[in-house]
A = this chain, B = another copy of it.
């Protein structure tokens, strides 16, 4: 059991600093090039889906069971089997789903862009308004915040707890300010904390009473099936926001998004949007101008390969088996090396792609910088916050999936070293 740093004397800290600096110089001299910055599947994970590349071939036909020729134009909403698969993934029904291209990010971008130029279901286009605001639970997904920033939408931080965003605050903003048009949510195994919204949180979301008629919940169910554990009791179940909204008399209040980027291939998956009939009608008015249809051959590949949601869930257990040891290795190192030092906290996720790490205030940027100097790329400090500004400069997102286990061990060791070093420096400044 190591001593908590804050209880060390100045002399002890100076001695420790010297040792850590020596170790750091040693690490730097190894000239490593490691990357824990992005939530990317590993090569091993990509191989899990390789047989998908064979299910549509010159030998097979390219028709759906209904006789739709996937190679030709048309079928803007997606082929029925793909709509069903994506609906099951999101916990909704195929009629509420449109299957899109390879990136749900693109669908989210299009949804905001459409609101800017054409409003939402007939509301005033946002580009005609003086001010549009979005609520952003933090820490959150950097690319969400990039979209709203790009369109000049003001972002308001909402603190996260273990059960989801601070709903008192959300309710206050949404019901009092008609400029608040949306909230970004990653409701299950959130990026980066792995938080799952509790039933109460989902129900409070669904029963919001927005001041703005065109307020929508942007429900990015990116990790709907991305459990880390096989045991059912460790797999979190999320309430279906769409039916909860219906129950509350708010059927149109949500857009849900999902993709197979981390199920099949990030570079060649399929994505989807789910919403009420009224919302979909409005979306289709613009979509029919934008495209004649998304890639149906790839939709057919996914439908044939996974067959159904049971097939897809079984496939996800292979991913879990591949990445769980990596999460566990990082968590073990954090526990062993930092567990008793009282210089950081972190969350053990049950799914998703990240470990969210909180250093002492004012240390995150320095830690990431130090890692970089030693050849370990972490996600930029602050990126999990709107405008890349972490008010406490403490949050760091760890993405353990992409490196091999060996690389990960090295990278984590350096990360831990940098955390210690920067923390000691901070404590010395204060003494």
> Which A residues form the contact surface with B (CB < 8 A)?
38, 40-41, 43, 46, 49-51, 53-54, 56-58, 60, 62, 69-75, 101-103, 105-106, 109-110, 113, 116-118, 125, 127-128, 143, 146-147, 150-151, 261, 265-268, 286, 289-298
Given A103-B294, A109-B290, A268-B298, 17 other A-B contacts at CB below 8 A?
A43-B69, A46-B69, A46-B72, A50-B58, A51-B58, A54-B58, A69-B267, A71-B268, A101-B101, A101-B102, A101-B294, A109-B289, A117-B117, A147-B289, A265-B297, A266-B292, A268-B295
- Kindly identify which residue among B41, B51, B73, B150 contacts A266, using a CB–CB cutoff of 8 Å: B73
Could you tell me the distance in whole angstroms from the C-beta of A177 to the nearest C-beta in chain B? 23
Q: Are B54 and A106 in contact (CB under 8 A)?
A: no
Number of copies: 2
- Known interface pairs A117-B151, A286-B150. Does A109 touch B40 (Cβ–Cβ under 8 Å)? no
A54 to chain B: which residues have CB within 8 Å? 57-58
- Known interface pairs A125-B127, A289-B109. Does A70 touch B268 (Cβ–Cβ under 8 Å)? yes
Could you tell me the distance in whole angstroms from the C-beta of A72 to the nearest C-beta in chain B? 5
A71 to chain B: which residues have CB within 8 Å? 46, 49, 265-268
Could you tell me the distance in whole angstroms from the C-beta of A37 to the nearest C-beta in chain B? 11
A110 to chain B: which residues have CB within 8 Å? 290
Could you tell me the distance in whole angstroms from the C-beta of A353 to the nearest C-beta in chain B? 12
- Kindly identify which residue among B146, B290, B296 contacts A289, using a CB–CB cutoff of 8 Å: B146
In whole angstroms, how far apart are the Cα atoms of A159 and B96 in the complex?
44
A128 to chain B: which residues have CB within 8 Å? 127
In whole angstroms, how far apart are the Cα atoms of A261 and B289 in the complex?
17
- Known interface pairs A38-B73, A117-B116, A265-B72. Does A295 touch B297 (Cβ–Cβ under 8 Å)? no
In whole angstroms, how far apart are the Cα atoms of A53 and B266 in the complex?
19
Q: Are A291 and B72 in contact (CB under 8 A)?
A: no
Could you tell me the distance in whole angstroms from the C-beta of A153 to the nearest C-beta in chain B? 11
In whole angstroms, how far apart are the Cα atoms of A110 and B113 in the complex?
10
In whole angstroms, how far apart are the Cα atoms of A43 and B67 in the complex?
13
Q: Are B117 and A113 in contact (CB under 8 A)?
A: yes
Q: Are B291 and A109 in contact (CB under 8 A)?
A: yes
In whole angstroms, how far apart are the Cα atoms of A298 and B295 in the complex?
10
Q: Closest B-chain residue to A68, C-beta based?
A: B267
In whole angstroms, how far apart are the Cα atoms of A290 and B117 in the complex?
16
In whole angstroms, how far apart are the Cα atoms of A3 and B118 in the complex?
55
Q: Are A267 and B46 in contact (CB under 8 A)?
A: no
In whole angstroms, how far apart are the Cα atoms of A289 and B142 in the complex?
10
In whole angstroms, how far apart are the Cα atoms of A218 and B382 in the complex?
40
- Kindly identify which residue among B103, B113, B267, B297 contacts A70, using a CB–CB cutoff of 8 Å: B267
Could you tell me the distance in whole angstroms from the C-beta of A385 to the nearest C-beta in chain B? 17
Could you tell me the distance in whole angstroms from the C-beta of A230 to the nearest C-beta in chain B? 25
